[in-house]
Structure formats: C-alpha cells, structure tokens
Structure 1
C-alpha cells in the first residue's frame, strides 16, 4: 500500500501490528505509545518529513479513547487531574507545532532534540525508582503504592490551588498550579515531538509529584487525546501556509496505526491492574532509554 503524504510504501499489516504491540505495553503506564511509533515511522518506514508529527497525533486521537474508556469503567480516571493537565498542555502543543515546522524540519536536529528530552525523563524516573526501592528495603518509608493497581480513585477535594484524592487507602495532595506549569513545558516538548504532550506527562507525574502510576494512567491518556485533537487540527490549519512542505497528517497511515493502537490500549488498560507499579515504572524508563539512545546514536 502506498501512503502519499508520507511518500512510503509498505504492507498495511505492519503499522497495524506494531501499533497494537507498542500500545499494549505503554498504555499500562499511561503512555499512548506514540513516542515509540515516531522512531518506527522515521527509521523503519522512512517517513521523515514534518507531517510525521501530525500523523503521530492523529494516531492518539483514534487510539486513546479505548484505553480511557477502560480506565473509566474501573474507576481509575481522575477527571480533575485530566482537565488540569489538558489546560496546561494545550498552549504548549500549539507553540510546539510552530517550532517543529519552522525550527526543526531537519530530521537530524529533530532526533537530537527528542533524544535529549527522553533521556532526561528516563534517568529521572530510574533514579526515583531506585531511591524508592532502597527506602522500601530499609523500611525507612511506607510504600506509596501497592504491588497491584486494583481499586478505584476517590476524589476528596478540588479547587484552583489543590487537588486531593485517595487511592489504595493512601491520600495524595498535589498543587494544581504546579501541574499546570509543568504541563505547559511538557506540552511544548510534546507539540514538537508529535505526541500530544500528555503522553510524556505520566512519567513526570510519577517522578516529580510522587503519584501512583496506576492512578494517573487514565488521566494522562485522556489528556493526550484532548491535546492531540488540538494538535492535529492546528497542523491541518497550518498546512496551506506551507505548500512546499508536508505538514498535514497522512490520514491513511494514521488510521492503520490508530486501529492497532485502539486494540492495544484497551487490552493494556485491562491488564494494567494486575502488574506491579515498580514493574510499570521500569518498563517506562527502559522504553524511554532505548528510544533516546537510538535517536542520539542515529543523529551523531
């Protein structure tokens, strides 16, 4: 099958199967898998023009609702957290799209930028996991999340300054202003990278705010969906302004990736509660490290 915007040709089964496999594992950590599909499209399929970012966000639009619906059914979707994250990431996504088109059209420069961002997030998460493991082993601090992710999230209070919720009999308090500020920065990076912003929000929420990965996965996926809708719309509006550059998504490739991601996210969200939190964190960090190393290796 030929994909005109991407300028590539491959079997339609390949993008569908890869998206299904990637999304199954990454959705357990609240990540859509778009950050792994980007190097797959660029390095394996040879899709390197700027529209690959828009195609990646279109994948999120189709794939994320299946995972979100499953988390909502199990009572693990925090609507206030979702709205706060989306409020911060949306402006960043718009700015990131402009930066991607005007300042980072060269694939090599883009890979350096993406690799450094993912490397930082991965190292931060690994450091936090190792510290928590040592603290648990010594009995110095109580565990903040259980070995499994069963149970629903219960909202205790929410206002413009503070969000408080309970998960597995543990109370969590987080600053709404802090999340908005962090979301703005993450949204900027996500807009450039083509993953909607919310996709890399889950590692930041786990690492910087100490939230349980089982509780933030649904909110992160839903925020990814909202910001990706905005991102795809923005790229599509910008396309006529750059007639000599492929900016709009490759809809045909995006649909195949999205359908595979839809199936993978639903299955991943259904299985997540049976997987220990520490395993999910190692999974996220390992995937990020692998992707960052691959990008930086190809760029240099």
Structure 2
C-alpha cells in the first residue's frame, strides 16, 4: 500500500514539476508531510527524510524534463549554468540548516513558504513585467518558431547569482526544486519567454539537485527503500509533464496548484504552531 501511494505521489510530482518548471518537490514534500502525520498505514518520516527523498527525486525529474526540453530547443544553457553556479552553495547551506529543524519548526516555516508561493503564482499573471534588469544586463534573444515571435531578455549576472543563491537555499532547506520561485522571476524580471524559462529552470533543478542530494546523502537523510517507488514514477511523470507543456496551456493546473499550495501551507502553519 505504501509503495502504491508513493508511485502515485511520484507520478503527480513529476508531471506538475516538469509541466510548469517547479521541480516536483513543492508537491512531494507537503503531501508526504500530511501522510506521515495523518495516515496510520504510512510510515512516520521525519522532515529531513522527506526532504532527502525529494531532492533525490528531483535529479530524475530534472534529467527527464531537461532532455525533453533540449530536444525542442527551449533550454538556455548559458543561463542555466549561471543559475546553477549561484544556487549550488545555497543548497549546501540550506541542507545543513535543515538538519537543525524539529518537526513543528519545519512545518511552520514550510507552511509560510507554501503560502508565499501560492500568492506568487496568484499574482504572476497580474504583475507587470519590468525591463530594468534586461536594460542593465546582458541581452539575449530567442526565436519562437511555433509562434514566429522574437523575444529579447536578459539579466545582470550579479543579480542572477544572488537570486539563485536564495533559491538554492530554499531548495536545500525544504526540498523544493527552486523553479517555483525562479520561473516567475525569470518571466517577470528577466523577460524570459515562458517555455524557455521552464526549460532553463529544469536544467538548473537537475544540476542543483545533484549537489543537494550529495549533501543530504552525507547527512543520512535519504530513506533509500522508498526511492524505488518515487524515482521511476517521477521520471515517467516528468516525461508526461514536459510533453503536456508543449501541447496545452497550464492555466487550469496553475489555478489548482495555487489553491492546493495555499491550503497545504495554512495546514502546515497550523500544525507547526499547535504541535509545538
């Protein structure tokens, strides 16, 4: 039963993570926190074990979806490696800070992050993109062959490194992929084309997840037996999500995700306050 549940959760994490560039952890972590605390047949995993399981999963979600996006030419390799350079030290620091958190503290802080992410997704379509970062950074271009449209985008490298350091820190601390923060920033601040933002984000998720996983493995945070269910289902889900990204609009899924993150975040905050 536990492995069947993990197969379903891994598949859903892979689909959502690859479809809108979130990385999958933003689905896996709150669901496993809920199952561990509320479902008697499910093992009582610690926040550190859940995060360890999540970051290992993200290697395979990132790999699967990055390969798919590379095939259709929506990965900006230069930007992806710059973002990785910024995020890598942040993931290491976040992983070490994670080891000092007890369950109520993790629930509280993670709940606050989920509420922030839900509001970020809610406001993403209402916020006006700014060109300041493009004007003060290196300009890049991308030609969307399907829409026959040329995009100009860019960013100051120093700001990209600073931003991705904090994205990496959140990823190491909470086991999320980082794309949930980075993709809206890439679109709104750096004027990335949405498909390129998602593809490039998944490259960064893949590379930073390797560093993140090594750190969590060294800390003993990975329950290896459960990776047997999570990894293959998440890999397949990421392939499905990347394919859906090219064929459907993800507005409906984003709306559902906003509400889910908000509810999960509020529940996590409640558990963190009243179980402490």
Q: How big is each residue's C-alpha offset from its partner over 1:137-161, in whole Å with a ceiling of 9 and x where there is no partner?
A: xxxx9xx9xxxxxxxxxxxxxxxx5
1:265 aligns with 2:246: no
**Residue pair 2:167, 2:182 contacting (<8 A) in 1 also:** yes
Aligned to 2:190: 209
- Say if 2:226 is the partner of 1:253: yes
1:53 to 51, 54, 73: 51
The residue correspondences of 1:86-165 to structure 2 (distance < 5 A) are 86-102=84-100, 104=101, 106-131=102-127, 162-165=138-141
Q: Aligned ranges for residues 1-300 of structure 1 at < 5 Å?
A: 10-45=1-36, 46-102=44-100, 104=101, 106-131=102-127, 162-166=138-142, 167=144, 168-198=149-179, 200-237=181-218, 239=219, 247-276=220-249, 278-279=251-252, 282=255, 285-300=258-273
Q: Distance in 2 between matches of 1:204 and 1:292?
A: 21
Aligned to 2:39: none
Q: Which residue of 2 aligns with 1:243?
A: none
In 2, Cα distance between equivalents of 1:203 and 1:83: 18
Give the root-mean-square deviation of aligned CA atoms: 2.5
Partner-residue secondary structure (3-state), 2:245 = helix
Shift of 1:281: 5.0
Q: Is the 8 A contact 1:197 1:227 kept in 2?
A: no
Question: Gaps spanning 5+ residues in structure 2: where?
Answer: 37-43, 132-136
1:41-69 CA-to-partner distances (Å, cap 9, x unmatched) read 22214322422211110111223211111
Shift of 1:22: 3.0
Q: Taking structure 1 as reference, are residues 213 and 285 closer, same or farther at Cα in structure 2, changes over 3 Å only?
A: farther
Q: Which sections of structure 1, spanning at least 5 residues, go unmatched?
A: 1-9, 136-140, 145-160, 240-246
SS in 2 for 1:169: strand
Separation in structure 2 between the aligned mates of residue 80 and residue 52 of structure 1, nearest angstrom = 32
Query: Within 2, Cα distance between the matches of 1:178 and 1:230?
Result: 22
Distance 2:117 2:188 in 1: 9
Distance change (3 Å), C-alpha of 1:219 and 1:283: farther
